[in-house]
Chains A and B, each alone.
Chain A
Amino acid sequence: MSAVSTDQLASWRARGTRASEQTVKQGLIVLHSGGYKKMGNDAWSFLEQLALASLDIGRLDIADECIEQLVEEFPGSPRVECLKGIRIEAGDKPQDALNFYEAALVEDDTNVALWKRQIAVLRSQGSHTIQKAVEELTRYLDIFYTDVEAWTELSDIYAELNLYTLSLQSLAHVLVLASQNPFYVLRFAETAYTAGDIPLALKTYLRVIDMDEPDPVQGNAAKRAWWGLKTSATRLLSSPSLPSESQTQPPSAEHLRLLDELATEQLAEVYRSTSAVSQVQGRDVFLAWLSGPNR
């Protein structure tokens, strides 16, 4: 039983799986039986994993036990500091966590993990600290430019605040850093559409379709891009002189008409009945919408 548990836990650690309930269940056995002492150097990663999982499900007592042992073994370690901070976040007062991170960052101002936790807490506190979250995140990105996750977080915060142009600019950096990922391009297109820049959205949706490999993989970005293409093409056809903040030229009317047709065909294809699904629900409604009032 114990041997199986530690292997499973090790594989979860390696993959970063967040199966907190099961981790705590199995981890508790290992913890109380003292089996982790035989794991050698892995014991410390195991304690960290168990601490995080138990904080996730609210078992603060187990987390405290693990953190106590880690603090004893590694006093002053930046990684353990971060764990202590997360423990304080799980407590009652978020201000305590903020104070802790401030103090820790004064001592060690380039600890990426601590800084990111601070920004996360500032964001989670809502409207009175969101301004500070944005400032800190911008300062962080000025130094650690290549962090794609942080750029997408910034874009997310801006979008939440309805500052779509700024969100788009953050996504631009994401695109430069990860130019081969069609999902980021799709997000750029959708943000552009929300920001009101329809010609840019249209072009970017086309780019997603262009990037699509002809590979029948479920959940690729192209299907959503066809939707986006349909909506932006119909809008441009109905009001051809929409303003574009990025001064993008939309395609000619003829091409727009062809694109609209193409998108309609591709979307109808999605809702086609196949041998697996004999009748797709809502197909009639959908087809009616496709040929809808815009025509």
Chain B
Amino acid sequence: MSSSGASLYLDPQIRDWVLFPITLVMILVGILRHYVTILLNSPPKRQSRAAIREQRALLRSQILRATSSNSPLPPTFYKAISASLWHAFHSGKYLKDGPPKEGDAPPTPASILTNPDQMDGMMDGMKKQVVMMVPQMVIMGWINFFFQGFVAIRLPFPLTLGFKSMLQRGIETQDMDVRWVSSLSWYFLNFFGLNGVYRLILGNDNSADSSKDMANSSPFAAAGQQPMQAQDYNKLFKAEKDNLELADGLYSWACKDVELRVLRRYGKLRA
């Protein structure tokens, strides 16, 4: 049997009873996922005053240093603020649990598992991933059970023979063109393609989007998120002390020689 080009004729009932139902079910499940995610969203965790202060303490010295080379502050003011920040970082005044006491072993950054706040954050993320995964598995199982063993559509684009095993699962032929595929591949096509439809129905910020899902579940993303949560503020503060000293060296008051600039600008002094 020669490889059939366009000579296979598919029953239109396949279109009515296979393609449309699968697409419809996927759209509805996507919308369901979106609303379940909204319901599962817990309100942001409330942080204590000390925790907020600790998080924002670095910002203070960064703000001071940002303008240090053309600073609006006179020297005495700048040095006073810089010195007080330096001492605060040195003594650990801004740390959430207060400055480390004498004689304590240097505190190890709390591991993620023992810190209750971060644990909750992780559980939240995992719950969301489960909501994404489970419907996908269920639908794949359903399709495999009901819609197996026949050709569903013909792809409009050609593919290499490598795809045969994946796209024609259940149809054991050797010579059939790879463009004739089973219904599971229709599922995959829908999976990647319905994002546009979701964006139309649910608006831009929907949780039925599979592209964000992929990014979240890749191992790189997970590794990127975790170190951020267990930051050791003590070390960061100590590092910031060096930055403060550097900025001190670069410091220059904006009003230095300002009288010369103004006089020149208005022509009272030759340039």
Give A residues with C-beta under 8 Å from B. Answer: 108-110, 142-146, 168-169, 172-173, 175-177, 179, 185, 188, 200, 203-204, 206-207, 209-210, 246-248, 251, 255, 258-259, 261-262, 266
B49 touches A259 (CB 8 A): no
A143 touches B47 (CB 8 A): no
Stretch of B4-12, B222-230, B256-264 at the chain-chain interface: B256-264
A145 touches B76 (CB 8 A): no
B255 touches A204 (CB 8 A): yes
Q: Is B141 an interface residue (CB 8 A)?
A: no
Q: Is B101 an interface residue (CB 8 A)?
A: no
Which chain B residues (15-55) contact chain A, with CB distance < 8 Å?
46-49, 52-53
B residues less than 8 Å from A266 (CB atoms): 266
A residues less than 8 Å from B263 (CB atoms): 255, 258-259, 262
**Complex: A110 Cα to B56 Cα, angstroms:** 14
Residue of B nearest to A184 (CB): B72
B53 to chain A minimum Cβ distance, whole angstroms, is 4
Q: Is B194 an interface residue (CB 8 A)?
A: no
Q: Could you pull out 18 A-B pairs where Cβ atoms are within 8 angstroms?
A: A110-B47, A110-B49, A145-B63, A169-B80, A172-B73, A175-B73, A179-B72, A203-B258, A206-B255, A206-B258, A206-B262, A207-B255, A246-B77, A251-B259, A255-B259, A259-B262, A259-B268, A262-B262
Which chain B residues (219-271) contact chain A, with CB distance < 8 Å?
254-255, 258-263, 265-266, 268-269
B74 touches A248 (CB 8 A): yes
Q: Is B126 an interface residue (CB 8 A)?
A: no
Q: What per-residue 1/0 map shows which CB atoms of B44-84 lie under 8 Å from chain A?
A: 00111100110010011001100100011111110011000
How many residues of chain B have a CB within 8 Å of chain A?
33
Q: What per-residue 1/0 map shows which CB atoms of B196-232 lie under 8 Å from chain A?
A: 0000000000000000000000000000000000000
B259 touches A206 (CB 8 A): yes
Question: With A176-B73, A179-B72, A203-B258 as given contacts, are A143 and B56 in contact (CB-CB < 8 Å)?
Answer: yes
A207 touches B254 (CB 8 A): yes
B53 touches A207 (CB 8 A): no
Residue of B nearest to A229 (CB): B262
B residues less than 8 Å from A168 (CB atoms): 77
**Complex: A246 Cα to B255 Cα, angstroms:** 13
A207 touches B72 (CB 8 A): yes
B53 touches A142 (CB 8 A): yes
B residues less than 8 Å from A258 (CB atoms): 263, 268-269
**Complex: A203 Cα to B47 Cα, angstroms:** 43
Apart from A110-B48, A203-B259, A247-B75, 7 more pairs, CB < 8 Å: A142-B53, A172-B73, A176-B81, A206-B255, A206-B258, A207-B254, A210-B261
**Complex: A142 Cα to B59 Cα, angstroms:** 12
Residue of A nearest to B268 (CB): A258
Residue of B nearest to A173 (CB): B81
A272 to chain B minimum Cβ distance, whole angstroms, is 16
A175 touches B268 (CB 8 A): no
Of the residues A142, A145, A207, contact of B258 by C-beta under 8 Å: A207
Residue of A nearest to B269 (CB): A258
**Complex: A169 Cα to B81 Cα, angstroms:** 9
Most A-side CB within 10 Å, residue of B48, B53, B258, B260: B258
Of the residues A143, A185, A200, contact of B72 by C-beta under 8 Å: A185
Which chain B residues (120-176) contact chain A, with CB distance < 8 Å?
none
**Complex: A203 Cα to B262 Cα, angstroms:** 11
Residue of B nearest to A259 (CB): B259
Question: With A209-B262, A255-B263 as given contacts, are A176 and B64 in contact (CB-CB < 8 Å)?
Answer: yes
Of the residues B47, B76, B262, B268, contact of A210 by C-beta under 8 Å: B262
A169 touches B60 (CB 8 A): no
**Complex: A219 Cα to B63 Cα, angstroms:** 29
A residues less than 8 Å from B258 (CB atoms): 203, 206-207, 210
Of the residues B49, B71, B80, B269, contact of A143 by C-beta under 8 Å: B49
**Complex: A52 Cα to B57 Cα, angstroms:** 34
B residues less than 8 Å from A172 (CB atoms): 73, 77, 81
Which 4 pairs show the lowest CB-CB distances between chains A and B? A175-B72, A203-B255, A206-B258, A251-B259
B residues less than 8 Å from A143 (CB atoms): 49, 52-53, 56
Question: With A169-B77, A203-B258 as given contacts, are A146 and B53 in contact (CB-CB < 8 Å)?
Answer: no
A residues less than 8 Å from B265 (CB atoms): 210
